[in-house]
Structures are given as C-alpha cells and as structure tokens.
Amino acid sequence: MNDAGRSAPPCPSLRLLGAWGLTIGELPVAIQPGAQRLLALLALQGRQARSFVAGTLFPEVGEEQALGRLRSTLSRLNRCRRGLLDTTEGCLGIAPGISVDADQLLRAARALVSDDADLDQGASYGLIDAGELLPGWYDDWVLVERDRLTALRIQALERLADRALAAGRTSLALEAALAAVKADPLRESAHRSVIAVHLAESNPVAALRQYDVYVQLLRTELGLDRPSEQMCALVGRLRDPGIVVDATPRPRPRVERDTART
C-alpha cells in the first residue's frame, strides 16, 4: 500500500486532570513515575533548558547529580516510548502533536474570561466537570501550577454562570456556579453566583440556605462572623418577616480533600 492509502498514526494524549494518564489512540501507555513527572512538567511549563528541568525535578540534590538523574530518566523514557519529547537545541519539550487536557482547559478558560467563547463552548470544554490537576502530587511546581489552573478555572466558571444567567439558561448557570463553589468553598463570589441563580428562579429558600452554608463556613474555617456587605445585601430583603422560609440549620457540607500521596 502506498503512503497515500495509509492512515496517519494516532497522536498521543496526555491526561493531567483527575489522574495522570498517557494514551495513544485508545491504548494506555505505561510510563515510569519519574518520566511521568518529566512529561507533566514540560506539558505545563513548556520548553525548558535541561538544567532548569533537572533542578525542578530533583531540587534536593546538586546540579551535577540532578542532571545525571535527568539523563537516567530520559533513557528510561526512550526505552519505553520514543517520540514523546522534542530534545533539539539542548532543551526539552513535549513533542508536537501531543494533546494535553490541562492545556485545552487553560485555553477554554481564558477564552471564556475574555468573552471569546460562547456558552456551549464553555460548557463542552469540560470546565464544569474538570478534575483537579495531578491529585496526590505535592511537588512545589505542581502546587504552583495547580493553584494557577484552579484560579483561572474558577474565574471562567463564574463568568460562565453570569453569562448563562443573563441568557436565561439557569440550569447551566447553576451548574457552573456550584462547580466554582466546589473548587473553592471559601470563595464568596462563587456562593454569590449560586444565590443569584436561586433568586432568578424565584427560589428564596434555596438562596437563604446557600447563604447560611457560606456563613457557617466562614465561622468554622476562618473565625469570621459576617460575610461582605455585598453578600448580605444580596439576601437582606429575603429576611423580611412577611416571607416564610425554612430556617432549620443544615449540616455543614463535607469538603472532599485528596489525602493520597505518591
């Protein structure tokens, strides 16, 4: 068969959200843990000098020893699967054509924040259901990247909620707002987004419950007795004696934390 009749080989896909994973086509590829960290670092921080990569991956040893460990990691990776890295000009980077879910999420979030994406694009790119970046990894560079991605994702979720609410798509708005709350339970603006949706749906009881959930979180986690004036004003009119609401205290929702360590 000539080249024109051959189908192109499937491109590798690197998953960093929810759990680390590498697939080619639909087949998973087993990679040694050290090489996993190498690929994740380059996927998140882009093309870098070898000395930077070595110092970031092996900060506990000197430069020469770190470079030696990096050479060993590269050797093991190449024995397992070639073609995953671009090693030209003395630098290291992810090979062209490899798709990275975290990179796709970043692009989608930036587009939503800058209003360059429509509502269906924002929802379909996985902003609402995206998992945590490399859960269970506690390297310093991972923590920085995780915080960066989480902050941008929450901004995009709140923007998605605002735009969906303005368009009358309250179900999408509520999904986005609740995802923002789950990502950062102490973020007041995320709770305000949830309350705004409940108010738009003429559901004052749910709005007050969400307010009370946030107030309880403030007291328990931060020792604060009162949220901002903006938050109080949002629900203040619902405390009118003429409006009957269910004021039964609700148990504090559990905030799931991944305690697994590598």
pLDDT above 90 coverage of the chain, percent: 68
Evaluate whether 174 touches 194 at the Cβ level (below 8 Å): yes
Q: Which of 176, 189, 170, 178 is nearest to 124 (CA)?
A: 176
Q: What is the pLDDT of residues 123-145, one digit of tens each?
A: 656 899 999 999 999 999 999 99
Least confident of 65-79, 91-105, 120-134: 120-134
Distances (CA, A) of 158 to 39, 185, 191, 193, 245: 31, 13, 10, 7, 27
For residue 180, give the H/E element and its range. Answer: helix 170-183
* Contact criterion met (CB below 8 Å) for 127 and 105: yes
Residue 122: its pLDDT value, please? 59
Name the more confident of 153 and 120. Answer: 153
93 pLDDT more than 90: yes
Angle between helix 170-183 and 140-166 (nearest 10): 160
Residue type, 251: P
What is the structure's pLDDT at 121? 65
Q: What are 44-47's contacts with CB under 8 Å, separation 24+?
A: 44/16, 44/102, 44/141, 44/145, 45/141, 45/145, 46/93, 47/86, 47/91, 47/92, 47/93, 47/94
Q: DSSP character for 105?
A: H
Question: What average pLDDT does range 65-78 have in this prediction?
Answer: 95
Q: How many CB atoms lie within 10 A of CB 168?
A: 9
Helices (H), 59-139: 63-80, 101-113, 119-124
Pair of tokens at residue 156:
């995009």
Sheet holding 48-49, edge to edge: 48-49, 91-94, 85-86
| 167-185 mean pLDDT | 94
Given a cut of 60, is residue 255 above it in pLDDT?
A: no
How many other C-beta atoms can be found within 10 angstroms of the C-beta atom of residue 137? 21
Tell me the whole-structure pTM to 2 decimals. Answer: 0.82
5: confidence class by pLDDT, cuts 50, 70, 90? low
Residue 59 has pLDDT above 80, yes or no: yes
